[in-house]
Amino acid sequence: MADASKDSSVYYVPHSGWYPVVLAFGVMLMLTGFGAWLNATRAGEPASWTQTIIGFGIVALVLYFWYAKVIAENQEGLANAVLKRSYVWGMGWFIFSEVMFFAAFFGALFYVRVLAVSWIGGDGAKALTGEYLWPEFEPAWPVVANPDPGLFPNPGESMAAPRFSDVGSWLSYLPLWNTIILITSSFTVHIAHLAIKEKNRQKLITWLGITVVLGIVFLILQVEEYVVAYQDMGLTLGSGIYGSTFFILTGFHGFHVTLGTIILLVQFFRSLKDHFQPEDCFGFEAASWYWHFVDVVWVGLFIFVYVI
């Protein structure tokens, strides 16, 4: 499939294949199915996950065969220097797009907390607006009091961090433990990367495995945090602007952690097959870049969503 693979001056152009078409079809099924589920749920009608699950299955299957083909070609030495350079640029732009994705949500959080809350509370350039929209509003974050009290049955409670002097509460604060876990995982994946450079296969497998386990533990604690929010605090997506920003930011980050954990798990299985060499390990490097990005986003979330 790569006639010019040995010529580093020629860009690799693969033969036509079915992967992109079927992948697009699967994404279409998944997203339209999810949209239909949201509309049906909002309208109080019976909703089904069938189409979404089928679309997700198609996407997962195509990605499995597609990535397996790319890995096989690389193992056969078919990927030349130009193609490998395109992988680096492609991953770089992908992470940049993810930075912009989260920047939009952090920007929304900033707008609400710094500008909108003050305006509705009677301060700032648009203060008069709040006098008409919500005269009794008190400009304090997190906003846990809504025009409709039924949206937040336990007013006064939030997922905000405890006081710095309250050591006992910090020790039981799930977001703090998740922060420690993700920061630790950045070090463990870096040690695994060093193991590739040192050609230490056992060290690579051990530390990469620890990183995967840390990712899974993070997700388990994230689910536990959501259970506490929904069942004990009444904090949901419908709990006004605080509930919306909290779940959208942490939820999308949780999705990225899930994706990153799966990617690292694939690299773990590849390491068992002795795939990585010091001069040829971009698959692992791309996974580690993505994981470090996810960790940095969480640090931002912990500071701006939980602490400040």
Say whether pTM exceeds 0.85: no
| Mean pLDDT calculated for residue range 65-78 | 85
Q: Are residues 59 and 131 in the same domain?
A: no
Q: Are residues 2 and 60 in the same domain?
A: yes
Number of domains within the chain: 2
In which domain, by residue range, is 33 found? 1-79
Q: Are residues 287 and 207 in the same domain?
A: yes
Q: Are residues 129 and 69 in the same domain?
A: no
Cα distance between residue 193 and residue 51, in whole Å: 39
Cα distance between residue 169 and residue 159, in whole Å: 12
- The answer to whether residue 115 scores a pLDDT higher than 60 is yes
Please report, for residues 29, 86, 96, 101, the alpha-carbon distance to residue 59 in angstroms, rounded to integers and kept in the order given: 9, 23, 23, 21
Q: Are residues 163 and 74 in the same domain?
A: no
The CATH number linked to 147 is: 1.20.120.80
- The answer to whether residue 307 scores a pLDDT higher than 50 is yes
Q: Are residues 45 and 169 in the same domain?
A: no
Q: Are residues 72 and 98 in the same domain?
A: no
Long-range contacts of 70-74 (CB under 8 A, 24+ apart): 71/270, 71/275, 71/283, 73/1, 73/2, 74/280, 74/283
The CATH number linked to 63 is: 1.10.287.70
**pLDDT tens per residue, range 227-263:** 888 877 777 777 778 888 888 999 999 999 999 999 9
Q: Are residues 9 and 89 in the same domain?
A: no
Q: Among 79, 109, 137, which residue terminates a domain?
A: 79
Q: Are residues 51 and 105 in the same domain?
A: no
Which pLDDT belongs to residue 2? 44
Percentage of the chain with pLDDT > 70?
A: 82
Q: Among 63, 79, 95, which residue terminates a domain?
A: 79
Q: Are residues 38 and 137 in the same domain?
A: no
Contacts of residue 269, Cβ cutoff 8 Å, sequence gap at least 6: none
Q: Are residues 115 and 63 in the same domain?
A: no
